[in-house]
Amino acid sequence: MMNTTMKKWLRRDTSAAFLFLVPSGIGFALFYLIPFAMGVFYSFMNSTVDSQFVGLDNYRELLASDSFRKAASNTFYFTAVSVPIMLVLSLGLAMLLNQNIYLRNWLRTAYVLPLVVPVASIILIWQMLLDWNGSLNAWMNDFGFDRVDWMKTDAARNVVIIIYLWKNMGYNIILFLAGLQQIPKDYYETAQIEGAGRFRQFSRITLIYLTPTMFLVILMSIINSFKVFRETYLIAGDYPHDSIYMLQHYMNNMFMSLDIQKLTAAAAMMTGCILLLVIGLFALERRF
């Protein structure tokens, strides 16, 4: 009798859960899943009107394109450099803010503020700083250094990395702080009694307990690194310096020229690469 009642309750609860999920599922399918599936479908066609199946021809043309290869290499270089820096800085700052330091609450607020500031406002400030006649060059000139055209030289790559770190670090610090506060203090006290130094405590206690949080931070940082197009586009325009010409720039330019086949092929390839990275991260998480 008890099992029958429980099964009926589970069925009723499951039905209610599905009922609440249906509107979100319809919206997700209508605005994300179906358009993406149509985009993948068009990437195998030669045109959106009277289309004919051409197989992988669009992908071959894409891989043979110098502009696409440049955009892809810049994007993956940016991800490979910015994500490890983001991980180290956010973890270090989270460990610092987890201590009883002066103005700790104010510092926590300061690191979260970039998350709520509109991107357009942020870019306006950075443009004022990094323009040829901007504040940074004026300060450098006062100290006897030559002016730098920040967004039209190779320095543009470093500028975008700094903007990305400044904009997204606060979210990762929050995640790491939450993970650090879940570690029992008794473990550190026991380690100190047994003579373990700070480095051993960090490697044997902190990193072990932060492993799930660290995988989440890495995953979110990788996804956010592929969305840096907004900042780059607003600060440098349609055709920025070669060092910051990203995949999203390429796809935006294909959209402006109505080359839908290359646009959808590039989007499908980028999604596939992100999916492979995510699957690899989840495989590593299960192993650890």
Domain ranges of the chain: 62-287
- Comparing C-alpha atoms, which of 132, 160, 187 is closest to residue 241? 160
H helices, E strands: number in the chain:
15, 0
Q: How far apart are CA 284 and CA 288, in angstroms?
A: 6
Q: How far apart are CA 172 and CA 188, in angstroms?
A: 23
Query: Can you give the pLDDT at residue 10?
Result: 54
Residue 127, C-beta contacts closer than 8 angstroms, at least 6 positions apart: 134, 235
Identify the architecture of domain 62-287 in CATH.
Orthogonal Bundle (1.10)
Q: How far apart are CA 184 and CA 164, in angstroms?
A: 33
What's the one-letter identity of residue 256?
A: M
- Comparing C-alpha atoms, which of 214, 112, 220 is closest to residue 170? 112
- Comparing C-alpha atoms, which of 274, 272, 263, 261 is closest to residue 55? 261
Beta bridge partners, 53, equal 45
List the chain pLDDT tens, one digit each, 288 residues: 556 655 555 566 677 777 788 888 888 888 888 888 888 888 888 877 777 788 888 888 888 888 889 988 988 899 999 999 999 999 988 888 887 766 666 776 777 777 777 777 777 777 778 777 778 888 888 888 888 877 778 888 888 888 888 888 888 888 888 888 888 888 887 888 887 778 888 888 888 888 888 888 888 888 888 888 777 877 777 778 888 888 888 888 888 888 888 888 888 888 888 888 888 888 887 776
φ, ψ of residue 245 in degrees (nearest 5): -80, 105
Determine whether 39 is exposed, middle or buried from the number of CB atoms within 10 Å of its CB (0-12, 13-18, 19+): middle
Torsion of CA 194, 195, 198, 199, to 10 degrees: -90
Query: Can you give the pLDDT at residue 288?
Result: 67
Q: Which tokens hold the place of 241?
A: 């310096």
Instruction: Give the global pTM.
Output: 0.79
Q: How far apart are CA 3 and CA 285, in angstroms?
A: 36
Query: Can you give the pLDDT at residue 129?
Result: 81
